[in-house]
Structure 1
Amino acid sequence: MEVIFSLDEINEVAQQILEQNPNKVILFNGEMGVGKTTLIKALTKKMGVNDVTSSPTFSLVNEYQTATNQTIYHFDFYRLNNEIEALDMGADEYLYSGNWCFIEWGEKIPNLIPDLHSTISIRLLSDGKRLLELI
């Protein structure tokens, strides 16, 4: 899937992503400030999360419950220095739990990512819109 969108259209894009039936572990790639966390907020809302969602930059992981009692883990590994730190916080248990895992800065833990995952790459275009690719 490939789509160009403005941030005003992010809820529609979130719905389109879910309609693609991605794997439950999803990597979100893109530069700082491109909208990864904003997209994750839209996805969790579309999935029925009523709690406030935010970036887990300092806690490394936030846990959300959907209205249908599904668990979503949202990771931000930006502050990690190495994969050992991720292992120390139990990242492997989360990633292989069978629950949804939305991962920002997954390139910091390449050896821990399950083989069965999807990747969303977001790139800022010159007109302020975003190019999203779901693989």
Structure 2
Amino acid sequence: MQKIIYTIQELDEISKEILDNATSKTLCFYGEMGSGKTTLIKAMVRSLGGGDQAKSPTFGIVNEYLLRDGDLLGYHFDFYRLESKQEAMDLGLEDYFNQDAWIFMEWPEKITGLLPSNCVNISIEVIDPVTRKIEIVSTK
């Protein structure tokens, strides 16, 4: 397990560190509403070459991100509004997991049992308005 305390000003540096050390391209983000899950994912998408296209997919459940050359970068899921695991299956979740792409998931606890075995779990805790503590645990 890795623990990191960071401020908003260090976000780009922290996102690169997490990506560089990730044991999987499937990242699960845990934390209360407003803890910075989407903000961290936006920084990661920028770090990976996706520009500033990242935004929360709360209402659409999933966003697709492309690299500047049009190649697939990955998918960003927000399961907050999911009513059942069946809804995730109806999205074709398994097909997304089988692609060679980055997968960023907010509120993965809503689909426990459907998650692949090789995830990186990132828990975010609010320390103060600009400081966060994250704990990173690889399941592989």
Q: What TM-score bracket applies, with the shorter chain setting the length?
A: over 0.9
Q: Deviations over 1:55-100 (max 9, x none)?
A: 0001100001124734210000000011001111111211222321
Counting only pairs closer than 5 Å after superposition, residues 66-85 of structure 1 correspond to structure 2 as 66-67=67-68, 69-85=71-87
Counting only pairs closer than 5 Å after superposition, residues 25-40 of structure 1 correspond to structure 2 as 25-40=26-41
Alignment RMSD (CA, Å): 1.5
Instruction: Give distance in 2, aligned partners of 1:130 and 1:112.
Output: 28
Which amino acid in the other structure matches residue 26 of structure 1? Answer: L
Asked whether the 8 Å contact 2:42–2:52 carries over to 1, the reply is: no
Q: Deviations over 1:30-74 (max 9, x none)?
A: 000000000000000000002521000011000011247342100
Aligned to 1:88: 90
Is residue 13 of structure 2 the alignment partner of residue 9 of structure 1?
no
Greater CA deviation, 88-97 or 102-111?
Answer: 88-97
Partner SS state of residue 57, structure 2: coil
Asked whether the 8 Å contact 1:96–1:114 carries over to 2, the reply is: no
Asked whether the 8 Å contact 1:60–1:77 carries over to 2, the reply is: yes
Greater CA deviation, 76-85 or 46-55?
Answer: 46-55
Counting only pairs closer than 5 Å after superposition, residues 116-131 of structure 1 correspond to structure 2 as 116-126=118-128, 128-131=130-133
Which amino acid in the other structure matches residue 133 of structure 1? Answer: E
Which amino acid in the other structure matches residue 34 of structure 2? Answer: G
Partner SS state of residue 125, structure 1: strand
TM-score for the superposition, normalised by structure 2: 0.90
Instruction: Give distance in 2, aligned partners of 1:26 and 1:85.
Output: 20
Structure 2 unaligned blocks of 5 or more: none
Partner SS state of residue 22, structure 2: coil
TM-score for the superposition, normalised by structure 1: 0.93
Which amino acid in the other structure matches residue 25 of structure 2? Answer: K
Distance 1:111 1:7, change over 3 A: same
Instruction: Give distance in 1, aligned partners of 2:111 and 2:96.
Output: 13
Q: Which has the higher strand share?
A: 2
Structure 1 unaligned blocks of 5 or more: none
Greater CA deviation, 113-122 or 58-67?
Answer: 58-67
